[in-house]
Structure 1
Amino acid sequence: MSEKSASLIPVLIASSLKPAKDTRAWGKLGLSLRETGLYRLSFMGFSQLPLKNCKDENYYTSLSSTHSIWGRIFSQIKFVRVLLKIRPKILICCTYEFLPSASFFKRLIGYKLVYDVQENYVKNLELNPNLSKEKRGQATSIIRRMEGVGGVDLFLLAEKCYRQEMPDKSPYLILENKYAGEIQDISSFKFPERTGYNFLISGTLTPAFGTLEAISWFKEILKEYPNSSLKIIGHCTLANFRIELQRACENVPQIHLNPSVFAIPHEEIIAEYSDVDFAFLPYQNREAIKDKMPTKLFESAALGVPVLIGGNPKWLEFLKPFSGGLPIDFFDLANATTQFKAALNQEYFTQNPPASILWKSQHQDFITAISSL
């Protein structure tokens, strides 16, 4: 180890189920810390393949299979081993599963503990149709016990609404899932009349996120715009829902379906935006969703891709100043073509989105908060 490397402050950013190179943990938190030149970074997370270390950056695998119960248990032992090996000065836990161990070993190792609250995990249980009331109650109890451990020095909240939903998480810093890139220079535009348009659904694929409704809506659009295409790419953890999606897309060559069992590298999803006319956010207006700001909103705005949303007032308020998209009733199949024609007549990106949609607008707040620890 070089003299410079030895002087760096060791930081471990750890998760059990999230990828080791997670979009937020590695691509935002990690890279922001690396830019300062003050920290030696280590990451722990899910990976099917062996991870290669690089200069002042080490990687550790928590799990290689998300469906293994024994793997989930053994990941706790792996986590403790990594803690004792690295002996970090700052530990950032990105999921609740490692919090009990992190809290227990804090006094022994002497690190500052940060909990990156990426989800309201209790509320998210409502979105899983496979959970019975009894199982949901058991999972809620486990999550609350794990998140209720002591010793957390700072909570990073990925959504503004988490401040009201989880008032016990304090002290806190709100760090939204904004776009970790630059805003593309784009002039205002309207779509010319064509026989086809390209659509994209990306990210997590679940019933509550409206994917099936969007597929049905797209099939109606095909009747008048037969050369259109719909790409569906994302992480789909529910096996039954993957089967439903495949059935919904059967015999429709214009739909390109990629429902991955594992999280898809973020750069692959961003690349899909390159030839897209519209992005879909057909989320159902559920209690667990309605106050959140999906990463796709920030990404689409920065990349100059109009978004067709499911009528969420908060999202519409976000898009309206720069004409970044329109609300669509994805359940109203009878008027699908009429609604889409109205969308084609809209002028988009009449002004540039604000710099506040970018991750770098929060960068200094994050660095300052970590430095203060």
Structure 2
Amino acid sequence: MSQFQTKRVPVIIASTLKPIMDVRAFGKLALSLGETNTYSLFIIGFSPKRPISIPGFRFFSSMSHFDSRLDRVMAQFRFLFRLLQVRPKLLICCTYELLPIASFLKPIIEYKLVYDVQENYVLNLGLNPNLLEKKSKKAGNLIQKAESVSGIDLFLFAEKCYAYEMPEKKPYLIFENKFAGELKEQKPIQLKSKSAIRFCITGTITPAFGTWDVVEWFREIVKTFPKAELIIAGHCPLISFHEKLEKAANETPNLSLQISPIPVDHDKLMTIFSSSDFALLPYQNHEAIRGKMPTKLFECAALGIPVLISPNPIWEGFLADFRGGFAIDFLNLSKATQQLETALAHTFFTSAPSENILWKTERTHFQQAIQDLLS
């Protein structure tokens, strides 16, 4: 650990299943703190390979086998060991399952404890179609118990809606998943005359996020637009759904898959974004989804990529200022082509998005919040 100056404040940012180079934990929180030259930063996260080395950061793997129960249990012991080894002054936990150990060791090591609430994990249980009610209730109780531990000094909310979904979590600050880069200079986009339209859906590939709805929707689209393409790319955690998608790809013209049972590198997904005419956000109208602002909305807005979204007043309001997308009903297959043609008649990005969609507008507030917490 000689790469760090001893006078710097040691900070651990830890998760279990999130990638070690996670776009939020590392790309936003860690890099923002690193800019201050005040902290020694230690990052713990999922990594199937030996973590790379970056000056100013130390990386530790929480686990390397995504579906291994034993590795997930061992991740707890690895976390405990790193806490005792580093003895941080600040610990940011990015998952609930690390909170019990974090709470237990807090009075011993004497650090400030921050919980970065990236998901409403209890509500998310309803998104898993394979989870039986009895198991769902048991899992929900375990999550609530873990999140109710003593000693959490500050909650960071990745979504505004968490303030009313989880009112017991106080004190809190809201830091949305805004885009970490800069706005791309963008001219108005017209796609009306284009026949070889490329669509993509990326991220977590599950039925609740509308992936299968898009497959059936696309099957209707190619009847009128035979040159259209659909790329489905990302992390597909359900084996049965993975197999279902592979069968669909074999049967559906111009449907290609780039899916994996483990998290996919974010840069790879961004490359797919950038080569597409439309990014698709066909999320279902679920309690765990409807109040959130998907990260992809910020990314597409900043990069000038039109989006087709499921009807949602929050998302539609966000896109309206710069005409960044269009709402369609992916479930209404009889009007699939008609709705797409209506979308194609629009001119997108008639004005530039506000810089408020960028993480840099949050960075100073986050840095100040951590400074205040440690003072």
TM-score relative to the length of structure 1 = 0.98
Structure 1 equivalent of residue 11 of structure 2: 11
Structure 1 position 54, deviation (Å): 3.2
Quick check: 1:84 aligned with 2:84? Answer: yes
Separation in 2 of the partners of 1:21 and 1:55?
A: 14
Conservation of the 8 A alpha-carbon contact between 1:62 and 1:79? yes
Which digits, 9 at most, give the CA deviation of each residue in 1:10-41, with x for residues without a partner?
11000111111111101110111111111111
Q: Which amino acid aligns with 2:188?
A: S
Call closer, same or farther: CA 1:127–1:4 in 2, change over 3 Å. closer
Structure 1 position 146, deviation (Å): 0.4
Q: Which amino acid aligns with 2:313?
A: P
Separation in 2 of the partners of 1:307 and 1:317?
A: 13
Q: Which amino acid aligns with 1:12?
A: I
Structure 2 equivalent of residue 210 of structure 1: 210
Conservation of the 8 A alpha-carbon contact between 2:206 and 2:236? yes
Structure 1 position 352, deviation (Å): 0.4
Structure 2 equivalent of residue 133 of structure 1: 133
Separation in 2 of the partners of 1:285 and 1:179?
A: 24
Structure 2 equivalent of residue 228 of structure 1: 228
Structure 1 stretch displaced more, 239-248 or 160-169: 239-248
Separation in 2 of the partners of 1:100 and 1:317?
A: 39
Structure 2 equivalent of residue 71 of structure 1: 71
Q: How many residues align?
A: 373
Separation in 1 of the partners of 2:216 and 2:38?
A: 51
Look up the SS of the partner of 1:91 in the other structure.
strand
Separation in 2 of the partners of 1:297 and 1:3?
A: 37
Structure 1 position 253, deviation (Å): 4.2
Look up the SS of the partner of 1:58 in the other structure.
strand
Separation in 1 of the partners of 2:271 and 2:42?
A: 27
User: Aligned-pair RMSD on alpha carbons?
Assistant: 1.2
Call closer, same or farther: CA 1:90–1:53 in 2, change over 3 Å. same
Conservation of the 8 A alpha-carbon contact between 2:3 and 2:55? no
Q: Which amino acid aligns with 1:142?
A: L
Structure 2 equivalent of residue 195 of structure 1: 195
Structure 2 equivalent of residue 49 of structure 1: 49
Gaps of 5+ in 1: none
Q: Which amino acid aligns with 1:330?
A: F
Which digits, 9 at most, give the CA deviation of each residue in 1:309-341, with x for residues without a partner?
011111111111110111111111111111111
Separation in 2 of the partners of 1:219 and 1:188?
A: 29
Conservation of the 8 A alpha-carbon contact between 1:89 and 1:110? yes
Structure 2 equivalent of residue 255 of structure 1: 255
Quick check: 1:287 aligned with 2:284? Answer: no
Look up the SS of the partner of 1:14 in the other structure.
strand
**Quick one: percent identity of the two aligned structures?**
49
Conservation of the 8 A alpha-carbon contact between 2:116 and 2:155? yes
Q: Which amino acid aligns with 1:291?
A: G
Q: Which amino acid aligns with 1:81?
A: F
Call closer, same or farther: CA 1:195–1:78 in 2, change over 3 Å. same
Structure 1 position 194, deviation (Å): 2.7
Q: Which amino acid aligns with 2:171?
A: P
Look up the SS of the partner of 1:159 in the other structure.
coil
Quick check: 1:337 aligned with 2:337? Answer: yes
Structure 1 position 306, deviation (Å): 0.7
Which digits, 9 at most, give the CA deviation of each residue in 1:94-153, with x for residues without a partner?
000110000010111111000000000000000001111100010001001100000011
Structure 2 equivalent of residue 368 of structure 1: 368
Structure 1 stretch displaced more, 218-227 or 196-205: 218-227
Quick check: 1:159 aligned with 2:159? Answer: yes
Look up the SS of the partner of 1:322 in the other structure.
coil
Look up the SS of the partner of 1:196 in the other structure.
coil
Separation in 1 of the partners of 2:209 and 2:175?
A: 23
Quick check: 1:103 aligned with 2:103? Answer: yes
Call closer, same or farther: CA 1:58–1:3 in 2, change over 3 Å. closer
Separation in 2 of the partners of 1:21 and 1:216?
A: 34
Conservation of the 8 A alpha-carbon contact between 1:205 and 1:234? yes
Q: Which amino acid aligns with 1:78?
A: R
Conservation of the 8 A alpha-carbon contact between 1:12 and 1:91? yes
Structure 2 equivalent of residue 175 of structure 1: 175
Conservation of the 8 A alpha-carbon contact between 2:210 and 2:283? yes
Conservation of the 8 A alpha-carbon contact between 1:195 and 1:224? no
Look up the SS of the partner of 2:189 in the other structure.
coil
Separation in 2 of the partners of 1:41 and 1:241?
A: 38
Structure 1 position 271, deviation (Å): 1.1
Structure 2 equivalent of residue 318 of structure 1: 318
Structure 2 equivalent of residue 119 of structure 1: 119
Separation in 1 of the partners of 2:45 and 2:160?
A: 25
Gaps of 5+ in 2: none
Conservation of the 8 A alpha-carbon contact between 2:205 and 2:211? yes
Separation in 2 of the partners of 1:192 and 1:4?
A: 55
Call closer, same or farther: CA 1:219–1:360 in 2, change over 3 Å. same
Quick check: 1:34 aligned with 2:28? Answer: no
Look up the SS of the partner of 2:5 in the other structure.
helix
Structure 1 position 251, deviation (Å): 2.8
Structure 1 position 291, deviation (Å): 0.3
Look up the SS of the partner of 1:52 in the other structure.
coil
Structure 2 equivalent of residue 20 of structure 1: 20
Conservation of the 8 A alpha-carbon contact between 1:41 and 1:58? yes
- Which 4+ runs in 1 deviate beyond 4 A? 1-4
Look up the SS of the partner of 1:362 in the other structure.
helix
